[in-house]
Amino acid sequence: MKNKNILFLFIFLGFAMNISAQKLISKNGHIRFYSHTPVEDIEANNFQVVSILDPETGSVQFTLLIKSFEFQKKLMQEHFNENYMESDEYPKASFTGQINNLSEINFEKDGNYSAKVSGDLTIHGVTKKINTPGTIIVSKDKVTATAVLIVLPEDYNITIPDVVKEKIAKEVEVTIDVSYNKN
Amino acid sequence: MKFFKSGSIVFILFFPFILSAQDIDQLLEEVTGNTTEYTIATFKSTRIVSGHSIERMQKSQLDFRISHRFGEVNRGGYEFWGLDQSSVRFSLEYGITDWLMAGLGRSSYEKTYDGFVKFSILRQSKGEQNMPVSLSYLTSAALNTLKWEKPGELPYTDRFSYVHQLLVARKFNERLSLEFNPTYVHRNLVATELDPNDIWAAGVGGRFKLSKRVSINIEYYYVVPPLHDYRSLKTYNPLSVGFDIETGGHVFQLHFTNSLAMIEKGFIGETTGSWLDGGIHFGFNISRVFALNK
């Protein structure tokens, strides 16, 4: 019986620590980018975005594989990987940052909260500091984080040749939509 | 409590630590995980010059190709070094699945209709599955519809020729890709009784990227001479050198070649130009890809 008590103690301890260290994890976040010009609209979606959000500290991380972006035009997807993002050399894009107004967000209470996020965005091997507003929606069984930000390809050393300058926007709209399960 | 083995106690004890220690890169690997990474863009187009490359149209992608070969450059100024003459092939080529494509074409050369099917057997990859080369199989049939000038009727079956080809390719690095194409051509009707109906050839091809959007391509087919060679036509092995220029949705291929035909049956068995005598044609292929999905 002594063993049994120790076991329960361990289980209890385990769960206690589990709860205090609870981070929100998403394995199927969605990031979409959209480039609009009068000549052509280009859209790609990545449904394999992983993210960790720590409600305790407010730290947020996103990462994804460039190759997981899906285009309607397969040739465009190939060129995106081969000519623009050079995904063999730079396979990932990532963001590591912080929610700056963490005190205004109550992860225990349902509601829509606006979040101010800042951090380092790494694309194509280039890291830039960014600031972006976002929204955090807390509901009974999940937390959803959304944000829209503008990314300039030239900031990340992504060169666009003259022949396609008309087709690729200087400012690319990136939409982030990530749901974390609460448990 | 028998079912709680000591292992599970340890697991329960450390479970929370495992969870919190999980870092984001591990998580990404879990999701996209031990995947096999297939090589893309071994060549820029489905043709190296006249012959096929390992590339296929992917599912629901339609390639509209217009190819030209001008006359031989040794024709002199009167023919504007060959540019006054032109041989053309139009084709529509479609990706039925990611591993299977089919195409239909019409060449002015012998007023030929051709149809082909190309499918992938192995794909070069690394990661979970390691495969050093890509392997595809191509088969095509061509129908010559020239008017029969000799007496009598020529049955349609005699107008067909067939090609079977294996394509073995490897992308060595970002710049260099090489390909090897053992090929068999069967012609139902040949010019004389002594001409062989079957031709065997070994094609080699490669590309070297000069920049992200421009590559230099070379293609050569060694045609195995028949054991008893009484071929009525003096033919040469086709050699072609050209550039691929990719501009978004188009690929422009500009080249010099000693063969006039743009289908295997023609350039393997019926190349009459010689590089040494200036029997070279300037030519181009234009490829425009349309996405038909959605």
Q: A52 at the B interface (CB within 8 A)?
A: yes
**All domains of chain A, ordered by start, with CATH?**
23-181 (2.40.128.110)
Per-residue pLDDT tens digits for B142-179? 999 998 888 888 888 999 999 999 999 999 998 999 99
The Cα of B250 is separated from the nearest Cα of chain A by a number of Å equal to 10
Alpha carbons A1 and A106: distance in angstroms, whole number: 42
- Evaluate if residue B5 carries a pLDDT over 90: no
Of the pLDDT bands very low, low, confident and very high (cuts 50, 70, 90), residue B21 is very low
Handedness of CA B26, B27, B29, B34 (dihedral sign): positive
Residues of B within 8 A of A74 (CB-CB) are 58-59, 61, 95, 291
Whole-model pTM?
A: 0.80
Alpha carbons B256 and B254: distance in angstroms, whole number: 7
Residue A10 has its nearest CB partner, among B13, B31, B294, at B13
Q: How far is CA B228 from the centre of its chain?
A: 31
Alpha carbons B146 and B265: distance in angstroms, whole number: 15
The residue extents of the domains of chain B are 6-291
CB contact under 8 A, A27 and B30: yes
Q: What percentage of residues in chain B have a pLDDT greater than 70?
A: 92
Token pair, residue B219, equals 């293609």
CB contact under 8 A, B16 and A64: no
Residue A48 has its nearest CB partner, among B20, B31, B289, at B31
CB contact under 8 A, B246 and A27: no
* Chain A residue at shortest CA distance from B16: A18
The Cα of A110 is separated from the nearest Cα of chain B by a number of Å equal to 25
The number of C-beta contacts closer than 8 angstroms across A and B is 93
- The secondary structure of residue B208, as a DSSP letter, is E
105-164 of A, contacting B, C-beta below 8 A: 161, 163-164
Per residue of chain A (183 residues), give pLDDT as tens: 556 666 666 665 555 444 445 889 999 999 999 999 998 899 999 999 999 999 999 999 999 999 999 999 888 999 999 889 999 899 999 999 999 999 999 998 999 999 999 999 999 999 999 999 999 999 988 999 999 999 999 999 998 888 788 889 999 999 999 999 886
Domain B6-291 in CATH 2.40.160.40: yes
Token pair, residue B27, equals 């998580």
CB contact under 8 A, B61 and A73: yes
Residue B41 has its nearest CB partner, among A28, A52, A78, at A78
Best probe of the B interface among A73, A81, A89, by most B CBs < 10 A, is A73
* Chain A residue at shortest CA distance from B40: A78
Residue A75 has its nearest CB partner, among B20, B30, B61, at B61
Per-residue pLDDT tens digits for B103-135? 999 999 999 999 999 999 999 998 888 999 999
Of the pLDDT bands very low, low, confident and very high (cuts 50, 70, 90), residue B182 is very high
The Cα of B173 is separated from the nearest Cα of chain A by a number of Å equal to 10
* Chain A residue at shortest CA distance from B30: A27
What does each C-alpha distance from A159 to A81, A163, B175 come to in angstroms?
13, 12, 19
The Cα of A57 is separated from the nearest Cα of chain B by a number of Å equal to 13
CB contact under 8 A, A73 and B291: yes
